[in-house]
Structure 1
């Protein structure tokens, strides 16, 4: 097992390669928090890559053998929480940050259950299904991130807000990546939204469906905004530099969904991204926002939230996780 310095160094390399936006925001944390965030990210990225047979979120590889890859992730994660050498720096990094912060195996299992949904090529039937997926693959990560930043596992409301930030991030990713997901045979738009528009999963990128797709995506962008506003309420409870980092990340990722909505039918002509200059702008504005109360319009917007962490956990408990065979 590598020592802490080596694990942190490898984790830093992973986040720089896998998420330039998150890497930029992470530098606003104090040193200890920043390193712990990198360690957690390394596990999230590596586990996702193993299940999807990809490299740092790149093109999907051959999806045959997904069950075995998912089992490997579960096995190595369990070893990490048991304090044993996993043979993979990213899982060792998880074990280290768990020992330092109090992350639990159950928290990690919630994230892995999201990987399991992708492994069986699961598609949402309803809006609730969509939000349940977002909970597993990103909301649960937000909860882990909050604990890494020192939020008590018993502070349910702040953890709910941390979950909301993850939900907002994932919705932004989904609306940006619709074309890429479609090319890979994946569709995260609920069937109950597609049916009234007159098309099924797999046909969403056809030119004749672009107007209807744009309206559907607009709903997802609005939901992302609601959850981002809710997350800003929780961010106000964090320490100064942590609040600055989270507000920076919220601004950067929020800009993705807002740009998709602004482009309308042309949203997928070119992949939406946030330039380095705009990232610096969001970081600067977040420094000011971190010193001020949460804007009233944001507090009001957050009241439109339809799904909370607790309701999504209940949904997942009720429906279970499909078995990958």
Structure 2
């Protein structure tokens, strides 16, 4: 009887055991598909931003859309929303843990920056634009910290707290947009002005949305301001406080105008079409803030909206302003600067581990 043949097990070649996922910008998705999805996101998420973005040259416009898609998606994940509105199933908002959602945002952003697929088009879009323009993890983290503040139900106590919040949710985005437009990362002056523009946008949003934020149990007016006006916590939208509320909104708009004026100085070095788009956005958002102030105590009876005709006027005025390219020097520069805010941000962060590399031998 023939003896059974002994089978000796063989190890598979390492390449058959585990293959690493190749790193490629956009996680392997086509650029065209990512741009199409990003365009849909900005059309749904912000008509004002979409209108201004059409003034960019094609490459810059598409990169701005890619960046916006990531910002929008991160905001939605952090809040459990869909394009700024409650999700249909409410599952993320009602049952999800904010900490888990933020960890997911950081994980997906990290994978996108590494060129790995994320299964989320908006994050793949961010990976693509980051690779094309040199956006960094630190830039991304500064923005994510803003989503974290909102998810934690954080509220500002002081002017400095408000400045830091505005930096994270808008000023840091302004810095990234400037880099996307081609501003070198070492051009601190222009990046400072881009940060000013983002802060101006956010101050206009806060002034306009005081009622909507209160309905969502949020308030971005510093607690010290409320104390100065002798307003009880959570009572600032009550009818008998409308006078004090209008005064605080006017204070927000005053800050907005200082940052708006400072931001114009940074447009001088931009290409014409980028300068035109930035100035158009500044005019549109500035108009929102000034309309809130003009309405006084009635500012929150109906949402302040800049109509198409008025937007067209601002776009036309921005064209001539961009063509002239001689922004006036503001009478007063903003109290809040990117440098001072970043010091507070870095000081509030975790202490970096000391380097453990051995010192070189003395010669």
TM bucket, shorter chain: over 0.9
Out of 283, 305, 310, the residue aligned to residue 334 of structure 2 is 305
Report how far residue 317 of structure 1 moved: 1.8
Q: Report 1:77-116 matches (<5 A).
A: 77-116=109-148
Specify whether residues 201 and 157 from structure 1 end up closer, same or farther in structure 2 by C-alpha distance, changes over 3 A only.
farther
Deviation string 1:1-56 (CA, Å, 9 cap, x unpaired) is 42000000000000000001100110110000000000000000000000011111
Q: TM-score, normalised by structure 1?
A: 0.95
Report how far residue 236 of structure 1 moved: 1.6
Out of 154, 161, 179, the residue aligned to residue 147 of structure 1 is 179
Query: What are structure 1's unaligned runs of at least 5 residues?
Result: none
Report how far residue 59 of structure 1 moved: 4.0
Bigger radius of gyration, 1 or 2?
2
Deviation string 1:200-257 (CA, Å, 9 cap, x unpaired) is 3411100011101111111100100110111110012100000000000001111100
Contact 1:123 1:187 in 2 (8 A): yes
Does residue 211 (structure 1) correspond to residue 243 (structure 2)? The answer is yes
Does residue 320 (structure 1) correspond to residue 349 (structure 2)? The answer is yes
Out of 283, 287, 294, the residue aligned to residue 255 of structure 1 is 287
2:269 alignment partner, SS class: coil
Report how far residue 318 of structure 1 moved: 2.2
Does residue 58 (structure 1) correspond to residue 85 (structure 2)? The answer is yes
Q: TM-score, normalised by structure 2?
A: 0.86
Contact 1:232 1:294 in 2 (8 A): no
In 1, Cα distance between equivalents of 2:335 and 2:228: 21
In 1, Cα distance between equivalents of 2:169 and 2:232: 24
Contact 2:157 2:222 in 1 (8 A): yes
1:236 alignment partner, SS class: helix
Contact 2:170 2:202 in 1 (8 A): yes
Residue in 1 that maps onto 2:308 = 276
Report how far residue 198 of structure 1 moved: 1.1
Deviation string 1:71-113 (CA, Å, 9 cap, x unpaired) is 1100000000000001100000000001101010110000001
Deviation string 1:105-137 (CA, Å, 9 cap, x unpaired) is 110000001111111111000011001000000
Q: How many residue pairs end up in the alignment?
A: 318
Higher relative contact order (CA 8 A, sep 6+): 1
Does residue 161 (structure 1) correspond to residue 229 (structure 2)? The answer is no
Let me know the Cα RMSD of the aligned residues.
1.2
Contact 1:51 1:115 in 2 (8 A): yes
Report how far residue 292 of structure 1 moved: 1.5
Deviation string 1:292-323 (CA, Å, 9 cap, x unpaired) is 24343xx223x3310111111111122338xx
In 1, Cα distance between equivalents of 2:232 and 2:344: 24
Q: Which has the higher helix share?
A: 1
Contact 1:187 1:201 in 2 (8 A): no
Report how far residue 57 of structure 1 moved: 1.3
In 2, Cα distance between equivalents of 1:275 and 1:52: 28
In 1, Cα distance between equivalents of 2:82 and 2:29: 22
Residue in 1 that maps onto 2:159 = 127
